[in-house]
Amino acid sequence: MTNFFLQALAEVGTPSVLGLIFIGVLFGIVGGSIPGFTVTMAILVVFPFTFAMDPVSGVSLMVGVFVGGYSGGIVSGVMLGIPGTPSSITTVYDGYPMAQKGEPGRALGIGVASSFLGTLISVAVLVFFGPLIASFSMNFRPWEITALIVFALTLVAGLSSGALLKGLMAAALGLLITTVGYDRNSNLRFDFGLPALGSGFEILPVMIGIFAFSQLLGNIEKIKDEKSEAKKIDTNVTIPYGQILKDMTGQKLNILRSSLIGSLVGALPGTGGTVANFLSYDQAKKFSRHPEEFGTGTPSGIVASEASNSAVAGGAFVPTLALGIPGDLPMAIMMGVLILHGITPGPMMFEQNPVLVGAIYASLLIGAVVMVICNLLLVRWFAKISLIPQQILVPVVLMLCAIGAYALNNNLFDIWVLFIFGIIGYLLWKAKVPLTPLILGVVLGDNLERQLFRALELNESWMTFLTRPLSALFLALAIASILFSLYQDRKIQRLKGL
């Protein structure tokens, strides 16, 4: 693996790829800085630009956006008191009070340093556990893969904040979308007499439509609902490097704990940065000698929040690369990028594309360094950019989405697909249907059907799914995750009733 990593490092180290990582990190930070824009949206906007690139360049650019995006929430969190992304909510708890006390530079510096260390630790987790899980899952046959995908979908649906039924229904709906068009036996399905539907729906326009429209139009509704005042901020920030070094030296354990929590949570399907953020903040408070200082501008709070949400980046790559199952929405899109470049994420990727896997590791590491440089040097610009109003942002991003969908195959039909799924996504979002299981269903649908039928072609009996130990274990876990979600829902309802 070391040879491949060095080979990958040489490929990633070329000026053009380094330039792409720099652009990716820069755009990611900008995306993360703008409240309501999110990392996922930044990834979706950059995605089309990778179409014409070779896999290493495309993936490096996307990894750059990923690393930058998870750290971008610091700026708006500290300067405006508004989390740029949901995964930086707890950064606001201590970052904003510290900035209010006249130390915005210190808050930003601690946040950036923690983000950097969090990313590094998560890359170490990825490098260690990725190949380990991949080599274990090499023994998976179609029964195990089918059961694992079912488990991942039920887990994500079950974590859809009190909407288990809708989450499961959304996952099934996502899978159903992938059945349109010619199947593996060249049989046409659900074309309704329209030739354009013969080739089915491309994943990208469906994903962008469902996610981007609901989020962007939701932002517009929010602006209409709450007439927000124009915020004025002082962008004249100086970073006190000596003070930050002192702050960070006393946070070794906090950094390690929060980064490991972030990596672990990132590796679990359906969780992501927001869960990691709250979990590590809570743990840091519990382990602290001065828990009363949390929420008043303590460095420990910023460290816990930023180290954990940045560590999600590396952790989330573990199931995506090792099992071919994305854990969250940004990873589902990342998987779409890999598929688009002809690479199928999964255990075989470590054998078939070791250089690309190495390129992902290298891009994460280089991205983390670039992120620190960009954040420290350009912080006042990011603070200004975070004030871009949604009224300007929404039309621009919608236009970029349309061009991105078109550029995929130079096909205008894809813009219509984007539009139709935009309407569907918006209506589902209004009906409080969780969209993550839906998108995950779209990404995993083809593989699920292929594996299911391969299993049934090898052995017609459905009972084989229960007689093979690992397959039975995954199915049992799927049922357990549903039962646990039901129990949680009941508990929440009982608490609401009190």
Partner 1 sequence: MLTLTKDRALALALLLIVAVMWRESGSIAPPTSWQPYGSALFPRILLVVIGVFSLLILVRSLLVKVPERAGAKQLIHEWFQSRRTILALFLLFGLYAALLPVVGYIVATIGFLVASLALLMGVNTRRKWMINLTLSCTLAIVIFVVFRYGLNVWLP
CB-CB contact of 35 with 386 (8 Å)? yes
Return the number of other C-beta atoms located less than 10 Å from residue 190's C-beta: 12
Over the window 423 to 442, marking each residue x when it contacts partner 1 by CB under 8 A and - when it does not, the resulting string is: x--x-x-xxxx---------
CB-CB contact of 71 with 364 (8 Å)? no
Over the window 11 to 50, marking each residue x when it contacts partner 1 by CB under 8 A and - when it does not, the resulting string is: --------------------------------------x-
Helix axes 252-267, 104-137, angle to 10 degrees: 50
- Helices H / strands E in the chain, number of each: 22, 2
Q: How far apart are CA 331 and CA 449, in angstroms?
A: 21
Residue 172 or 348 having the CB closest to partner 1: 172
- Which of residues 407, 466, 470, 473 is near partner 1 by CB under 8 A? 407
Q: How far apart are CA 444 and CA 331, in angstroms?
A: 12
- Which of residues 166, 257, 285, 468 is near partner 1 by CB under 8 A? 166
Q: Are strands 188-189 and 181-182 parallel, antiparallel or unpaired?
A: antiparallel
DSSP secondary structure string, 430-457? HTT--HHHHHHHHHHHHHHHHHHHHHHH
Q: How far apart are CA 137 and CA 13, in angstroms?
A: 31
Sign, CA dihedral 347-63-211-282, equals positive
- Which of residues 402, 440, 443, 475 is near partner 1 by CB under 8 A? 402
Q: How far apart are CA 69 and CA 37, in angstroms?
A: 10
- Which of residues 24, 83, 422, 425 is near partner 1 by CB under 8 A? 422
487 lies in the site for partner 1, by CB under 8 A: no
- Which of residues 101, 189, 290, 491 is near partner 1 by CB under 8 A? 189
Residue 89 or 210 having the CB closest to partner 1: 210
Over the window 229 to 258, marking each residue x when it contacts partner 1 by CB under 8 A and - when it does not, the resulting string is: ------------------------------
CB-CB contact of 154 with 168 (8 Å)? yes
486 lies in the site for partner 1, by CB under 8 A: no
CB of 158 to partner 1, least distance (A): 13
CB of 121 to partner 1, least distance (A): 35
Q: How far apart are CA 320 and CA 5, in angstroms?
A: 19
176 lies in the site for partner 1, by CB under 8 A: yes
101 lies in the site for partner 1, by CB under 8 A: no
Residue 409 CB contacts under 8 Å (≥ 6 apart), including other chains: 202
463 lies in the site for partner 1, by CB under 8 A: no
Q: 């918006």: which residue's tokens?
A: 426
165 lies in the site for partner 1, by CB under 8 A: yes
398 lies in the site for partner 1, by CB under 8 A: yes
The residue range among 144-152, 291-299, 349-357, 398-406 that interacts with partner 1, by the rule CB under 8 A, is 398-406
- Count of residues touching partner 1 (by CB under 8 A): 57
Q: Which two tokens stand for residue 37?
A: 């824009």
Sign, CA dihedral 257-263-267-273, equals positive
Residue 62 or 364 having the CB closest to partner 1: 62
Contacting positions for partner 1 (CB under 8 A):
49, 51-53, 165-166, 168-169, 172-173, 175-176, 179, 183, 185, 187-190, 192, 217, 220-221, 224, 389-392, 394-396, 398-400, 402-403, 406-407, 410, 412, 415-416, 419, 422-423, 426, 428, 430-433, 449, 452-453, 456-457, 460
